[in-house]
Amino acid sequence: MNETASAENGASRGKIAIRLLFTLLFAMALELVKAALYLSVIFQYVYLLITKTHCEPVRNFGNLAAAYGYRLMRYLTLNDNPRPFPFKEFPQALEAPEEEITFP
């Protein structure tokens, strides 16, 4: 892409630098989301092994965290322009959880 096409899109070096700073911030947020998901998975399986049933609040948290992680990744990879939460509303779940969990 040349300078003229870049200027027509409104992409100045200053705007690119600001986007880069937000990208670094959201990359750190993605790492926190991933760590929270890992902890929730471990907790969910320990809970499942002890009670033989899943923990619905942790299940819902995982679903929402996955949706937020997806929004973060779209922003980081330049596939989405709006800045994710906290700059816009927290995303809703992308898909509803399965009605029943099976163990084949």
pLDDT at 8: 58
| Dihedral pair phi/psi, residue 97, rounded to 5° | -65, 160
Sorted by sequence, the CB contacts under 8 Å of residue 88 that are 6+ apart come out as 82
Sorted by sequence, the CB contacts under 8 Å of residue 18 that are 6+ apart come out as none
Report the chain's C-alpha Rg in angstroms: 19
Question: Which amino acid, 85?
Answer: F
pLDDT at 2: 53
The pLDDT mean for the chain works out to 90
pLDDT at 96: 87
pLDDT (tens digit per residue) in 54-103: 999 999 999 999 999 999 999 999 999 999 998 889 889 888 888 888 88
* Cβ atoms 74, 80 nearer than 8 A: yes
* Tokens at 39, concatenated: 């902890």
